[in-house]
């Protein structure tokens, strides 16, 4: 097997694993392996191929890290609420003695706990946040 074939197989494997895991950095390393394949096609030595693959792959990883850090980071000090369930409505039929309720939400049964620690009646409630497998709710 030629060196270039091995490099192309490694690059393809890196891209396949990246597609399965969603780790964008593997794609950057795959670019480095593709650069190693191109240098193998040029007839360079194995050491040169390794250096080119490492420099291009490592440089792509570093460049992507800087781009992601600058463009995709929110403003400093700003908190982003990634709780997509916050604000959704649920209906509480009854509270149990341990201040929990069983509610149907998103097609399944959830345990709801009151936001203040003490239930404020039955009826419609709003999800404040998800705490593990429990919904923290407040009366509407």
- Residue by residue, DSSP assigns 59-70 as HHHHHHHHHHHH
Q: Which pLDDT score is estimated for 75?
A: 59
In the chain, the domains with their CATH numbers are 3-71 (no CATH), 89-139 (2.40.50.140)
- Residue 62 sits at φ, ψ, to 5 deg, of -65, -40
Please tell me whether the overall predicted TM-score, pTM, comes out greater than 0.95 for this model: no
Q: Which DSSP helix (H) or strand (E) runs through 82?
A: none
| 89-92, strands of its sheet edge to edge | 89-92, 123-131, 134-139, 108-114, 101-105
pLDDT tens-place string over residues 8-62: 999 999 999 999 888 788 999 999 999 999 999 999 999 999 999 999 999 999 9
pLDDT tens-place string over residues 60-110: 999 988 888 887 665 555 545 557 888 889 999 999 989 899 999 888 899
Residues whose CB is less than 8 angstroms from the CB of residue 13 and which lie 6 or more positions away in sequence, other chains included: none
> Are the C-beta atoms of 35 and 53 separated by less than 8 Å?
yes
Rounded CA-CA distance 12/111 in Å is 45
Q: Which pLDDT score is estimated for 77?
A: 52
């Amino acid at each position: 097997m030629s060196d270039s074939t091995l490099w192309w197989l490694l690059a393809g494997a890196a891209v396949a694993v990246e597609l399965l895991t969603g780790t964008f950095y593997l794609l950057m390393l795959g670019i480095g392996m593709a650069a190693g394949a191109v240098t193998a096609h040029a007839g360079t030595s194995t050491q040169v191929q390794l250096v080119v693959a490492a420099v291009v792959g490592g440089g792509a990883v570093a460049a992507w890290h800087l781009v992601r850090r600058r463009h995709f980071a929110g403003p400093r000090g700003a908190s982003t609420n990634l709780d997509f369930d916050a604000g959704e409505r649920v209906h509480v039929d009854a509270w149990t003695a341990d201040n929990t309720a069983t509610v149907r939400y998103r097609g399944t049964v959830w345990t709801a706990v009151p936001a203040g620690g003490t239930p404020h009646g039955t009826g419609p409630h709003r999800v404040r946040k998800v705490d593990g497998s429990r919904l923290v709710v407040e009366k509407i």
